[in-house]
Amino acid sequence: MTTDFLSSEDIKKSTGAVIFLSIALIILGILAIIAPAIASAFFTAMIGWIALISGGVMIVQSFRSHPVRGFWLNLIVGILYAIAGIYILLNLGKALLALTLAFGILFVVEGIFTIIMAFTQRAGRSMSWLVVLNGMVTMILGIMVLNRWPFSALWLIGLYVGISLLMSGISLLVAALAARKVIADAPTNIPEANL
């Protein structure tokens, strides 16, 4: 049986790439938090491009698999995706408003269901009060978004994307630094192959 272990140099190279990525995510997250309106528009445009490209791929795929059942369904769904993508790209403001409204409604509904789940299912057992608190905060956040709509569209999505990028970057950075510390603390005479 052969087992290949990564050398400490390979791990340092791998963690170096992860550290670079995590720092980039942290910087992007901070920029999105500082300029949430720009980040919101950028994120909405990315959704438009993803819908447009997905629609194009579905249309092409439907013609490539023409003899297979579902040709018309794939073609129609692909056309609808492409139209939605074009609409979003040509009407970023309206798309941003609609997306923010959807997020507000989603937060309110999620908050209500989380609170109900905490009381009916005793989610978290003795910590169910924490689940209730989570549901209340989510619901209040949704109400705040809806209450300030359409003005909340200027900051909501960009701020959330920024916070998400920042937290992802920090967690990746901590994991990569921890892996490097384990390698630095490990004895250097560990065999690298064949058992």
Query: CB neighbours of 102 closer than 8 A, spacing ≥ 6?
Result: none
Reply yes or no on whether the pLDDT at 86 is more than 90: yes
Question: In the structure, what pLDDT confidence band is assigned to residue 80 with cuts at 50, 70 and 90?
Answer: very high
Reply yes or no on whether the pLDDT at 147 is more than 60: yes
Q: Lowest mean pLDDT: which of 1-15, 24-38, 127-141, 150-164?
A: 1-15
Residue extents of the structural domains in the chain? 8-185
Reply yes or no on whether the pLDDT at 83 is more than 80: yes
Burial of 148 (0-12, 13-18, 19+ CB in 10 A): middle
**From CA 86, how far away is CA 32, in angstroms rounded?**
24
Reply yes or no on whether the pLDDT at 192 is more than 70: no
* Most confident segment among 69-78, 120-129, 185-194: 69-78
* Most confident segment among 3-7, 20-24, 158-162, 174-178: 20-24
Give the per-residue pLDDT at 111: 85
Q: What is the mean pLDDT of residues 10-38?
A: 85
Give the per-residue pLDDT at 5: 60
Give the per-residue pLDDT at 103: 83
Answer for the pair 169, 34: CB distance below 8 angstroms, yes or no: no
